Amino acid sequence: MTGLLALAPEFIVLGGALVALFADRVTRDERLAPGLASLSALAAAVVAAYIGPAGALFDGALAIDPSAVFARIAIAALAGVWLAWVTGRGTGVERPAEAAAFALVSALGGMLMVGARDLIVLFISLELSTMPAYVMMGYRRADERGLEGALKYFLLSMLTSLLMLYGLSFIYGLAGSTAYAHLALGAGGLLRPLAFVLVLVGLFAKLSAAPFHYWTPDAYAGASPAAVAFVSTVPKIAGTVAFVRLVDALAPGVGDALYVLVAASVLSMLLGNLAAFPQSDLRRLMAYSGVAHTGYILLALASGAAGGIAATFYAVAYAVPSMAIMLLAAEEGASLDDLGGLAARRPAVAWASVVWLLSLIGIPPMVGFFGKLYLFTSAVSADLLWPVLVAVTMSVISAGYYFRILRSVFFAERPDAPSIAPSPVAAVALFAATVGVLALGILAAPLLRLLGVSY
C-alpha cells in the first residue's frame, strides 16, 4: 500500500477541516459545518479501520501498526462524537464552524502523531495537535478567566516545547539520526539522561502530568465545558501513544532515567486524586482527575513494551467517559450543584452518567476496569509493586469524588433548573459514548489481542 493511500483517513479529516473553515463560503450556513465535520471524522475512523496496519511509510518516518490503527480510530471517532454534539447544541459553542475546524486540525495532528517514527515528524505533529487547543481553551474572547487560563496553557506549553526541542537536539547529536530506529544512544555520559529528561518535561506538560500540571485546573475552569471535553481527551490519546513510541526508542540508552517516570506517576496519582476532593466545579474536578489518570498511564510506560500497549488502551478507556461527563456539564452547568435533580429531569442521561463514572473508577464490566487491570498487571510484571499499591489505593480513593457527582445527580435538588431543548443529535452523541464505554469493556480481551497482548 502506498503512503498516500495509507493516509486516506488523515486526508479525509483535512478535507473536513477545510470545509468547516470556509463554511460560510462552501455551505452558505456555518451551522452546517459541525455536522459535515462530524461526518468526515466518522468516515475517517471507518476508513482507518478498513485500511488497518500499513507498515512503514515514507522511508520509516511513519509506521501504522495495530496500536496506531487503534489510536487513529479512537481519535477520529471521538472527534466525530464531539462534533455531533456541537451540531445538536451549537449554541453551547461560540462560532461552531471555527470550533469544528480547530477540532479537526487537532485530530489530524494526533492521527499523524500516533504513527510518527521520526523526531521531526513527532514534533511537528505534536504542535499541530496542541496549537488549536490553545485557541479552543480561550475561545470565549470576552471571558477574562478563560483568556487567563489559555495564556497559562500557552506560555507553559511553549516553554516546555522549547525544552523538549532542546532535548531532541541532544538526542540527534548523540544518535546522528532523527529516525527512531537509530536512536540507540551511545556514549554521552550525563548528556543521555539529561536529553531524556528534557524530552520528558515537554511530554509531561502536554499530558498534564505532575509537576507540570499547574496550567490544567485554571485553564479548564476558565474554558467552556464543551472545549474542555475535546482538549482533555483527544490530544491525550495521541500524546500517550507518542510517549510510548519515544520511550521504547530511548529506553535502552538511558537506564535508570526511567525511574523518573515512576516518580512522576506516583506524584500525579497522589496530587490528582487528593486535590480533586474539595472541588465543586466539574471542570476543576475533572482536571485533577485527568492528572491522576495520567499518573496511571505513566506507570504503564515505566513497565516496558507490554506497558506501552496498556497505556494506549487505558488512554482511550479514560477519554470516552471523560468526554461524556464534560459534554453533560456543557448542557447542565459546570457546578456540581447544577446537576441536582438530573435523575428526575433526564433519567436516561442520569443513568448513563453512572456508566461513565463507574468506568473512571474501574468497576466491571466497564472499560475502565479492564484498562486498569491490564495496566496494573503490566506494572507488577515489571516489579513495580509498590507503585501499583499506590495506584490501587488511589483508585479506591477516587470513588469518593466521583460518587459526589452521582450524589448530586440522584439525591440533590435544583428548583431553578433551566429547560433544555431536546436535541436528538446531541442525545445520540451521549448515547454513543455510553455504548463505547460498555462495548470496549466487553470487547477488551479481543482488542488487546489485536494490539499484540498474549495471554
Segment 244-279, tens digit of pLDDT: 888 888 776 565 667 888 899 999 999 999 999 889
Q: 232, 286 in Cβ contact below 8 A?
A: yes
- Residue range 298-317: average pLDDT? 86
pLDDT score for 60: 81
Residue 272 is predicted with a pLDDT of 92
- For 129-218, strand residue ranges (E) read none
Taking only the tens place, the pLDDT of each residue in 372-414 is 999 999 888 888 899 999 999 999 999 999 999 999 999 888 7
pLDDT, position 24: 66
pLDDT score of 352 more than 90: yes
Return the percent helix, strand and coil in the chain, to nearest 5.
80, 0, 20
- Render pLDDT for 87-123 as a digit per residue (tens, 0 to 9): 888 655 567 788 888 999 999 999 999 999 999 999 9
Angle at 222 between CA 138 and CA 289, to 5 degrees: 115
Q: Is the pLDDT of residue 365 over 80?
A: yes
The pTM is what? 0.94
Question: How does DSSP assign 28-52, residue by residue?
Answer: S-GGGHHHHHHHHHHHHHHHHHHH-
Average pLDDT on 117-143 reads 84
Q: Whole-angstrom Cα distance, residue 431 to residue 183?
A: 44
What pLDDT is attached to residue 30?
65
Q: Using the 8-state DSSP alphabet, how is residue 281 labeled?
A: B
pLDDT at 292: 94
Signed CA dihedral, 404, 410, 411, 414: sign only: positive
What is the model's pLDDT at position 353? 93
Question: In Å, how far from its chain's centre is CA 287?
Answer: 12
Residue 361: what pLDDT? 92
* pLDDT tens digits, 163-180: 889 988 888 888 888 888
Q: Is the pLDDT of residue 144 over 90?
A: no
Rg (CA), the chain: 21
Residues 10-53 pLDDT 10s: 999 999 999 888 876 666 666 678 888 999 999 999 999 998 88
User: pLDDT tens digits, residue range 50-95?
Assistant: 988 888 888 888 988 889 999 999 999 999 999 999 888 865 556 7
